[in-house]
Each structure stands twice: as C-alpha cells, then as structure tokens.
Amino acid sequence: MQMIRTAIFLGFTIFPIFSQVTAPVEVVNSGVAAVNDLGAEVVKGKFACLYERMNPQWRTKLAEKIGGEEKLRQQCESAGAVLAKNATTITRLAATGFPTVFEVSPGKKESIVDGKKVETLIYTQWLLFVPTITHLQIVGDDGIHTVESRSFQVAISPKSELRWTFIDGATTSIAELRNLFISLPVNVTLPKQEKKLLEQK
C-alpha cells in the first residue's frame, strides 16, 4: 500500500498484473443482453449484423486477411445463403452460463491529488467472454439432425458507455486476442468449445 501511495505522489500509478475482475452486475447483464440480441438477429436471418456489430479492431484485422472490408461485409451478409445451400438453419443462438470479465485497453486519466496534477493509468474498456449455445438444424438424406454447438462471444464495450461490439470466439485465438488487448492475463483460458448431435428425426 505504501508503494502505491508513493507512486501516486510521484505522478503515476502501477498497473495490476492481472486484469480479470468482477464487474458491476449492470455491466455483465448488459453484455449478456447484447449477445442475446445479436443471437436473435442471426436466428431471424439478419446476418448483416455480424459485420455491423463486429469489434472495429477485429474487423480491420479480419478485413486485411481476406481482401478488404467490403469483401468481409459481403461474406457476413451471404452467410445465410451459404447455410441454406447446405440445408442448415440456425434455430437458436444465445448466451449461457456466466461470463468471464476483464478490463482492457490501457489509458490515462488526469486528476488532482493534494493540489498536484496526477496522471493515472486506467483500463478504458470492458471485455467479456460470454459462453454461447447454438442449435443448427440440418436436413440430410437420412432425416433432420439437430447439432448443438457450444462456443463464446467476446463482447467489448467502452467503460464510458455500454456499447457492445463482438468477436466470434470460434474464429479467434488467445494469441490474436492478446495482440489486440495486451493486458489480457498471460494464463487466460478460453471457454470450452464443443459440438454434439442432439437428435435425429
């Protein structure tokens, strides 16, 4: 505690080693609700939302890989047609379980301490790993299959306002996330991902 007080009087603060935290319940509820809203749009076939609500940093990185943002937008919007071609329908996409919460995106905040201007290092964004469950209905020659996929959405929002953007957990890795958000803990683990056949008609 004395070291932290000394650091403040010297005009800076020390970042914690780990950025995993417990967020206010309204933050968690807002992130989960935003994932459910995204899922509801996808189930309705409004796949343009995958591009529109994609995290801007991730969208730029992804666009660089596939040849530009317009191509990425078209790819997202055509997802429904691709599914239809494969006789597949998304019947459910929703949050499930409790998110893991992190603070990311280091920034600075100025304040006055004992009449002196102090620059404090802060985290400016919330980042949540929100576990998700997706049901895919697939029509095959041998009947209708329902496949359950468990994955997660990475939900990111400025702390100044709860405005969420997303990264699909199935399309990213720890290394890629840490490249965008350097304050993620070294030992961070992603939510479990798995698929299983639920039923066949």
Fold classified for 20-200? Nuclear Transport Factor 2; Chain: A, (3.10.450)
**Where do runs of H (alpha helix) occur along the chain?**
2-9, 25-43, 49-52, 56-66, 69-77, 79-85, 174-180
Cross-strand pairs, 168 = 153
pTM for this model (two decimals)? 0.84
Q: What is the pLDDT of residues 173-186, one digit of tens each?
A: 999 999 999 989 88
For 112-170, the pLDDT digits (tens) are 777 788 788 899 999 999 999 999 999 988 899 999 999 999 999 999 999 999 999 99
* Residue 155 contacts residue 132 (beta carbons within 8 Å): no
Structural domain boundaries in the chain:
20-200
